[in-house]
Structure 1
Amino acid sequence: MSNNILCVGELLIDFICSDVNSSLTEGTNFIKKAGGAPANVTAAISKLGGHASFAGKVGNDHFGVFLKNTLDSVGVDTSMLVLDNNSNTTLAFVSLKSDGERDFIFNRGADELLTYKELDKEKVYSSKIIHFGSATALLGGPSKVTYLEVMEKTKEKGTFISFDPNYRVDLWKNRLEEFVSISKKCLKYADFVKVSDEEIKIISGKESLEEGIKIFHKLGAKVIAVTLGKDGTLISNGTNIDTIGSIKIKSIDSTGAGDAFVGAVLYKIAQQEEAKNILGDFQKLKEIVAFGNKVGAIVCTKLGAIAALPTLDEVEKC
Structure 2
Amino acid sequence: MTHELLTIGRISVDIYPNDIGVGLEDVTSFGKYLGGSPSNVAVAAARHGRRTGVITRTGDDPFGSFLHRELRKFGVDDSFVTPAAGQTPATFCAIKPATDEFPLYFYGRFPTAPDLQIKAKELDLDAIREAGIFWSTVTGLCQEPSRSAHIAAHEARPRTGLKEGQFTILDLDYRPMFWASEEEARAEVAKILPHVTVAIGNDKECAVAVGEGTPDEQADRLLAAGVEIAVVKLGAEGVMAKTRTERVVSAPVPVETVNGLGAGDSFGGAFCHGLLSGWPLSEVLDYANASGAIVASRLSCADAMPTPDEVTSLLAERGRPIPGASAALAEGAVR
> Shorter chain as normaliser: what TM range?
0.7 to 0.9
CA RMSD across the alignment: 2.6
The amino acid that maps onto 2:74 is: V
Q: What secondary structure is seen at the aligned counterpart in 2 of 1:255? A: helix
The whole-number CA distance in structure 1 between the counterparts of 2:143 and 2:204 is 23
The whole-number CA distance in structure 2 between the counterparts of 1:185 and 1:292 is 28
The whole-number CA distance in structure 1 between the counterparts of 2:69 and 2:138 is 22
1:177–1:18 Cα change, 3 Å? farther
8 A contact 1:5–1:270 mirrored in 2: no
Q: Which moved more, 1:96-105 or 1:126-135?
A: 96-105
TM-score normalised per structure 2:
0.81
Alignment counterpart, residue 125 of structure 1, candidates 126, 129, 137 = 129
Structure 1 gap ranges (5+):
273-277, 279-283
Q: Which moved more, 1:47-56 or 1:14-23?
A: 14-23
8 A contact 2:199–2:230 mirrored in 1: yes
Alignment counterpart, residue 152 of structure 1, candidates 152, 155, 159 = 155
The whole-number CA distance in structure 2 between the counterparts of 1:177 and 1:93 is 28
The whole-number CA distance in structure 1 between the counterparts of 2:3 and 2:17 is 39
**Percent of residue pairs bearing the same amino acid type:** 27
Q: What secondary structure is seen at the aligned counterpart in 1 of 2:264? A: helix
The amino acid that maps onto 1:167 is: Y
8 A contact 2:11–2:58 mirrored in 1: yes
Q: What secondary structure is seen at the aligned counterpart in 2 of 1:198? A: helix
8 A contact 2:9–2:116 mirrored in 1: no
Number of the residue aligned with 2:242: 236
Give runs of aligned pairs for residues 291-310 of structure 1, distance below 5 A: 291-310=287-306
Number of the residue aligned with 2:172: 165
Distance apart, 1:156 and its partner CA: 5.0
Number of the residue aligned with 2:141: 138
The whole-number CA distance in structure 2 between the counterparts of 1:30 and 1:169 is 26
The whole-number CA distance in structure 2 between the counterparts of 1:144 and 1:205 is 22
Distance apart, 1:314 and its partner CA: 1.6
Alignment counterpart, residue 180 of structure 1, candidates 177, 186, 191 = 186
Q: Which runs of 4+ in 1 moved over 4 A?
A: 16-19, 26-31, 93-103, 156-159
Number of the residue aligned with 1:53: 53
The whole-number CA distance in structure 1 between the counterparts of 2:271 and 2:108 is 32
Structure 1 residues 189-236: Cα deviation after superposition (integer angstroms, max 9, x where no partner) = 111111012211232222311111111111111101112234221110
8 A contact 2:46–2:75 mirrored in 1: yes
The whole-number CA distance in structure 2 between the counterparts of 1:59 and 1:210 is 42
Q: Which moved more, 1:300-309 or 1:247-256?
A: 247-256
Structure 2 gap ranges (5+):
315-335
Alignment counterpart, residue 21 of structure 1, candidates 20, 23, 44 = 23
Number of the residue aligned with 2:319: none
Q: What secondary structure is seen at the aligned counterpart in 2 of 1:307? A: helix
Between the two proteins, the alignment pairs up a number of residues equal to 303
Distance apart, 1:299 and its partner CA: 1.2
Q: Which has the higher helix share?
A: 2
The amino acid that maps onto 1:77 is: D
